[in-house]
Amino acid sequence: MGPEFIQDFSALYGEPEKLSPLVTRVLCKNPSPFTYTGTGTYLVGEHSLAIIDPGPDMPEHGEAILAAAGERPITHILVTHSHIDHSPLSAWLAERTGAKIYAFGAHGAGRKGGLAGEDVEAGADWSFKPDVLLEDGEIIDGGEWTMVAHHTPGHTANHLCFHLKEENVLFVGDHIMGWATTVIAPPDGDMQQYLDSLRKVVDLGVDKLYPTHGPSVDNPDKFVRAVITHRRMREGQIVNLLQEGPMTIADMVERMYREVNKALHPAAARSVLAHLISLVEDGRVTCEGDATLHATYSLP
């Protein structure tokens, strides 16, 4: 059984939406097939603020963030990962507020290797330069709020989730989304790391997930376990298809995603590639040469 996605999310662009005593969201007007209704930037705190995922290079969204902050100082800028719908505005916001940018690292940081080249569904922010590099488990103390950074590679190698201890909630960036599955696109995306990172989230035992796109997830344990099951089912689907004989990824996507908008098939192909890289590494699938989008795959 797959996760029960929620696709009736709506919010007013540029208007602060109070979600809890410490959490406010401001929605950026950058809807797309990959951002859903847009980037949800989070303001955390009552008297001094952390900003999580400032968003794309859209100064009008920056002005909306500053308006939502009002007289409260912005002391920290936290970035989950370096895609162009999450990180570019951090430099603009840092210049305006003097706050430092906290992240795991620049784009590609933590990457274990893999295929050459880069093809990111949402676009890589190669200019992203954090001021403070965070390690897994590092604590950011904002006085009235406490964040723990958890390295959760999979969607990107440098992906972080932030655990707000005072409310026991987790800001999950694109690691988990309430409205759709997360795209895992090699070379920066890694399916095995993603599954390991999902289990890490289960072990945290948080009460709520705040993705950067779409609605919050109120039943994290059940939802994340369903995501893991869904990914394992996709693996099984790939293996079952290969029982019919050698296939390319294009062949598989055409059959596995026949009911999905064809505009999303390129992203689906990269997720299938991520599964296949993991399956090849495990010896469950073979291919001639490297595992690429255009290779032919078969069972051993």
Q: Residue 213 belongs to a domain with what CATH number?
A: 3.60.15.10
CATH of the domain at 250: 1.10.10.10
Domain final position from 168, 195, 218:
218
Between CA 29 and CA 170, with CA 181 as vertex, the angle to 5 degrees is 75
Task: Check residue 112 and give its pLDDT.
Answer: 73
Q: Is 11 among the domain residues?
A: no
Task: Check residue 1 and give its pLDDT.
Answer: 57
Same domain, 81 and 111: yes
Distances (CA, A) of 181 to 1, 81, 120, 227: 14, 17, 16, 8
For residues 85 and 174, what is the distance between their CA atoms, to the nearest angstrom? 10
Same domain, 195 and 289: no
Q: What is the pLDDT along the chain (300 residues), one digit of tens a residue?
A: 578 888 777 789 999 999 999 999 999 999 998 899 999 999 999 999 999 999 999 999 999 999 999 999 999 999 999 999 999 999 999 999 999 999 999 998 988 764 445 555 558 999 999 999 999 999 999 999 999 999 999 999 999 999 999 999 999 999 999 999 998 988 889 999 999 999 999 999 999 999 999 999 999 999 999 999 999 999 999 999 999 999 999 999 999 998 888 888 888 898 999 999 999 999 999 998 989 999 999 999
For residues 182 and 266, what is the distance between their CA atoms, to the nearest angstrom? 14
Domain that holds residue 113: 17-218
Task: Check residue 2 and give its pLDDT.
Answer: 72
Same domain, 94 and 171: yes
Q: Is 204 among the domain residues?
A: yes
Q: Is 94 among the domain residues?
A: yes
At which residue do the structure tokens 């995501």 appear? 227
Three-state SS for 266?
helix
Same domain, 202 and 283: no
Q: Is 223 among the domain residues?
A: no
Same domain, 117 and 143: yes
Task: Check residue 115 and give its pLDDT.
Answer: 43
Domain final position from 218, 249, 267:
218
Is residue 10 exposed (0-12), middle (13-18) or buried (19+ Cβ within 10 Å)?
A: exposed
DSSP code at position 264 = G
Same domain, 90 and 50: yes
Same domain, 243 and 165: no
- Beta strand spans in 100-188 (E): 100-103, 132-133, 139-141, 146-151, 160-164, 169-173
Q: Is 169 among the domain residues?
A: yes
Query: Per the structure, how many domains does the chain have?
Result: 2
Task: Check residue 157 and give its pLDDT.
Answer: 94
Task: Check residue 143 and give its pLDDT.
Answer: 94
Residues forming beta bridges with residue 298, ordered by sequence position: 286
Same domain, 81 and 127: yes
Q: Is 105 among the domain residues?
A: yes
Q: Is 196 among the domain residues?
A: yes
Reading the block at residue 297, the tokens are 């795959």
Same domain, 202 and 293: no
Predicted model pTM = 0.93
Same domain, 212 and 243: no
Same domain, 156 and 89: yes
Q: Is 4 among the domain residues?
A: no
What residue type is 226 in one-letter code? A
Domain final position from 218, 252, 277:
218
Same domain, 264 and 178: no
